[in-house]
Chain A
């Protein structure tokens, strides 16, 4: 099992719709998680941090399910500018600073 696993997509979403996708992680001791977005192979940009059960920032909601070891990202009222690859990030076991990136979930918002 990969340490951080994501559905690669693509998720094709009509503008204005809601889309949600998950990320599973293997390190049960992980305490902090992150969602990043990456556009056209530019640098990843931090979208949200997830430290407890969840976090909400505007149209974006991240939730953490420790029992099942996954985090989710939900995007409401999708905008064309939300089209990107969303990267799930979790710390690796026995590693202070080494964060493992998932391969990413591609979201394509269509007019």
Chain B
């Protein structure tokens, strides 16, 4: 049973480019979460999605960031016009339908903006 799959593992973008991070949840999981971890800081919640719905995006920056979880295919976190401050590790996690279920994390995508 494959775990949460994220790709790419490492992503380098120049300032102003777009970054697309992908996440496939564990089999049977319909809830996806994105967290960001800046260097020397803790995990910060960004967004919580179910299939075709954004449930909570209170942690998403108001501009340049968007997320989706389409009916078919992986969840995508998209960052437009990246800046150096976007450099971080972006972790995706998934959970089962049952309330109170723990999160299972992918390996993360390390984004470096040059």
Footprint of B on A, CB under 8 Å? Answer: 31-32, 34, 41-46, 49, 51, 87, 89, 91, 95-104
Whether the pair A97, B56 counts as a contact (CB closer than 8 A) is: yes
- DSSP majority for the A interface? loop
Whether the pair A95, B56 counts as a contact (CB closer than 8 A) is: yes
- DSSP majority for the B interface? strand
When distances are taken between beta carbons in the complex, the residues of chain A under 8 Å from B43 are 44, 87, 101
Query: Which of A32, A42, A44, A101 sits near B100, CB closer than 8 Å?
Result: A32
Rounded to whole angstroms, the CA-CA distance of A44 and B95 in the bound complex is 14
Interface CB pairs A-B, < 8 A, 8: A31-B100, A42-B108, A43-B91, A43-B106, A89-B103, A101-B45, A103-B41, A104-B42
CB distance from A1 to the nearest CB of B (A): 16
When distances are taken between beta carbons in the complex, the residues of chain A under 8 Å from B48 are 97-98
Whether the pair B31, A41 counts as a contact (CB closer than 8 A) is: no
| B66 within 8 A of partner (CB) | no
Given contacts A44-B91, A44-B105, A45-B105, whether A99 and B31 have CB atoms under 8 Å apart is: no
When distances are taken between beta carbons in the complex, the residues of chain A under 8 Å from B56 are 95, 97-98
Rounded to whole angstroms, the CA-CA distance of A44 and B87 in the bound complex is 19
Interface hits, B67-114 → A, CB 8 Å: 89, 91, 95, 99-100, 102-108
Rounded to whole angstroms, the CA-CA distance of A102 and B43 in the bound complex is 8
